[in-house]
Structure 1
Amino acid sequence: MRKGTHRVVAAIFALGLIAAACGSDDPGTEAPTTEAPSTEAPSTDAPMDDAAAETAAAQALVDTYMTIPTEIGVTVGPSAAVPTGKKVAWLACELPSCAEVGEDWGKITDALGWELKTINVESASPGAGVQEAIDWGANYIAISGSPVAAFAEQFAAAVAAGIKFSFAYNGEAPADGILTSISGNDAVYAAGAKMANYIIADSGAAANVLMVNIQLFPVLVAEEEGMKDTFAAGCAACTFDVLPVQIADIGVNVPGLVASYLQENPETNYVSYAFSALPIGVTAGLEAAGVALPKQVGVDFDLTGLSEIVAGTHTAWTSNPKAYSGWVMAHAMVLDAVGDEFAERAAGEELPNFILDDAAVAQEIIDSSPMSNWKGPEGFADQFLALWGVA
């Protein structure tokens, strides 16, 4: 029996009961005559029509997700020359994704004439790193993934000292001391919805989905909600379940946990990974355990997902231009440095992305950069430098 599965059929049935209860409340209305039950077999045309309609609706959306973006998401540069000498602390976490977010910080600060200090931290407890940045005299601190709740004391101390934060992938709402929060909850919710629509279209509205997720991160919970809500609204026959794991499980316990789940729930035909590192070792683990491979998809590809698309063991991934996100974080700092508001904040925080399911394109991306990933729209770094007036 599938555990914890969200079945939208129950919700539709409940709505039917409500509609029946509200359908006629006129006390003067006579009770309808009860007809004898039909002996004819029920028609199966309606469910088939529903699935076809759900598939078509999802496919229409998916068709808009497949184009690789070419432009950056901001157009307004600083109103004055950017001052030199600012100090930026980049807090680099232990996850591979942080290496990509931090990939271009040296290039950015060199171009601006700013000073960079890279501080290694753990995602779940970056407080000591924030304190080191405070002690160093940073003007700006950049962090990816870690929510403020994980370093609340140091965050308050930094803001009190006049230090500003640029965040990525942590879902923080606008607040004093926060210049931007790139790809926050709304954006990652949308990414989850996009992948859910892809699954609906690809499966013919007949998907039993397991999502592997680390629920420590609010943005990944938002992604989970985006998938769940999309299946609920757009796929009556689909099921959706979640396998919660921890950071320490990546590449160690996740393969066995997924294999065990699939053995217990053999009807599962899709596994979706909340971000790039989660499928490390899973395909090999499933093959070693003799478990038939489901279709594997995910949000936020990197070399792992791209390589498996090339190999044919993964079906599709959404992009996530993590290097590009660093430039948007820096853009917020640049505007602040001249006293400008980030008027395009909402647009800037929505990262350009697409869904990739083409092996040839996946190989091109692998070959395109030192970290074998899609960094962002072609020429995006030059577009930012020109916008800042430092090209």
Structure 2
Amino acid sequence: MPVGTHLKHRRILTGVAGVAALALLVSGCSSASSAASGSSAAATSSAGATSSAAGSMSAAGGSSSGVTSSGAAASGAAAQAAAAKAAVAPFLVAPTKINQSVPLTAKIPTDKPWVLITCELPQCKTISDGAEAAAKAAGIPTKLLSYKTTDGTTMTSSMKQALTYNPVAVSPIGFTQAVWDSLQPQYRAAKVIITPLSLGDTAPSDVVTQGASSQLDYSSGGKTMANYVIADSSAAAHILVQDVPAFAVLKAYGDGFKAQIKSGCTACTVSDLDIAPAQLSTGSLVPAVIAALRKDQSIKYLVSTDGAFLVGISTALKAAGIDGVKIMGGSPDINNLTALKNGQQTAWTGAAENQTGWVALDIIGRTLNKQAVAPVDGGRVTQVFTQDNVGVPSATGMSAPADYQAQYLKLWGLS
């Protein structure tokens, strides 16, 4: 049954700075199963043929080592595909539970404001709106400051201004820790914690808490997509990974994907296509992808660390006469999900960015209570979307779990 899915609409920016900011914020069930099952059947058939051939060669006094090796490889691929299928299966259904389960030992203080520092992009608004909704539900006042993604000094200024409100915590949304990291001594002196949201280079300290939706979440998403590819290809994929490694969250996704392919798929091959930020503003990303696919026609999987960058990819593939390439990756926008629904693309890992603020407030509560905080507070909810489960693509945030607000409020002792 299709699952109603709601993901953010992500604007494709033409300026290099705008694209960089976008990246910093980004920071099928049956098809995967049938592919993995088919792999197992094929491996069994191959193993049987190998056994028969080996017996004949042995009787004739010949060597069977080559055939035996082939059978072992087939058996190994089947095992790897089965393991990947099992690993990705939970992500093919809509999540029903948030990833936090331990109640707070005390309620979050409501006498001081939570300062949020947002930007001018729609993605920032989705995240900050979710954070304000979490604070309102918990009875915590908020103060909203802003910065411009084209000018890092505006983030630094807002981080300084935030301290003047005597906050319970300050949460910068996106950009990079480098522009405010030098302010940690001031925050330490003021006894104010910093809880970053959607930051790709979060470095926790006694001042900086675990981040909500950090590089750890993106790396995990890449690993999940790798398992999807391994299962779908019967552990024999040749993959083109298109990345923009200058952006930390995208590099984390790409690195997570490639690490899992390396450890979980002996026969898989990865070809890298690293794009420089300047190429994004000139519209040369898709032509570079087409050139790479033309150069090596054995590539049948295209994995992008940021789906929003693949504007016009389906049309370009058709014009180039390239078919049989499955398109997938991370951080899909409404265009990717629509193409997924129409069968033009294959799979995307999506996340509930409108819940990032709820995760952040949970981290703040645990930190103030001196409770243990798991890395990224257990992680954000995510799902691998396919044509079978994408439902009706939407420009709003992913809504699953349907009752996530109630689940958080229960943990916080407010329901």
- Report the TM range for the smaller structure's normalisation: 0.7 to 0.9
The within-5 A match list for 1:64-83 is 64-74=90-100, 75-77=102-104, 79-80=106-107, 82-83=109-110
Aligned-residue offset at 1:342: 4.2
8 Å Cα contact 2:147-2:154 kept in structure 1: no
Gap change, CA 1:351 and 1:158, over 3 Å in 2: same
C-alpha RMSD of the superposition = 3.0
The within-5 A match list for 1:1-391 is 42-43=66-67, 44-74=70-100, 75-77=102-104, 79-80=106-107, 82-92=109-119, 94=121, 97-111=123-137, 112-122=139-149, 126-136=152-162, 137-138=164-165, 139=167, 140-154=169-183, 157-167=186-196, 168-247=198-277, 249-250=279-280, 252-292=283-323, 294-335=325-366, 339-346=368-375, 348-359=377-388, 361-364=389-392, 366-367=393-394, 371-389=395-413
Q: Deviations over 1:244-267 (max 9, x none)?
A: 224554473322221222122222
Could you state the TM-score of these two structures normalised by the residue count of structure 1? 0.77
- Match for residue 24 of structure 1? none
Distance in 1, Cα, partners of 2:179 & 2:323? 39
Instruction: Give the letter for the 1:304 counterpart.
Output: N
Q: Give the secondary structure class of the aligned counterpart of 2:172.
A: strand
Gap change, CA 1:118 and 1:66, over 3 Å in 2: same
Instruction: Give the letter for the 1:106 counterpart.
Output: E
Could you state the TM-score of these two structures normalised by the residue count of structure 2? 0.73
Instruction: Give the letter for the 1:281 counterpart.
Output: G
Aligned-residue offset at 1:355: 1.6
Q: Deviations over 1:67-116 (max 9, x none)?
A: 3221222232361463244141222364x543432332332343424132
Q: Deviations over 1:334-378 (max 9, x none)?
A: 455xx412424337241222222134x3134x25xxx33414411
**Greater RCO, CA 8 A, separation 6+:** 2
Gap change, CA 1:238 and 1:150, over 3 Å in 2: farther
- What residue ranges of structure 2 are gaps of 5+ in the alignment? 1-60
8 Å Cα contact 1:207-1:237 kept in structure 2: yes
Distance in 1, Cα, partners of 2:152 & 2:414? 32
Aligned-residue offset at 1:286: 3.0
Gap change, CA 1:302 and 1:379, over 3 Å in 2: farther
Q: Give the secondary structure class of the aligned counterpart of 1:179.
A: coil
Distance in 1, Cα, partners of 2:261 & 2:238? 10
Gap change, CA 1:333 and 1:39, over 3 Å in 2: closer
Distance in 2, Cα, partners of 1:165 & 1:242? 35
Query: What is the aligned length?
Result: 346
Gap change, CA 1:85 and 1:144, over 3 Å in 2: closer
Q: Which structure's residues are more often helix, by fraction?
A: 2
Moved over 6 A (4+): none
Distance in 2, Cα, partners of 1:362 & 1:196? 19
Q: Give the secondary structure class of the aligned counterpart of 1:69.
A: coil
Identity of aligned residues (%): 23
Gap change, CA 1:385 and 1:174, over 3 Å in 2: same
- What residue ranges of structure 1 are gaps of 5+ in the alignment? 1-36
Q: Give the secondary structure class of the aligned counterpart of 2:99.
A: coil
Q: Give the secondary structure class of the aligned counterpart of 1:341.
A: coil
Distance in 2, Cα, partners of 1:103 & 1:284? 35
Aligned-residue offset at 1:186: 3.7
Gap change, CA 1:187 and 1:241, over 3 Å in 2: same
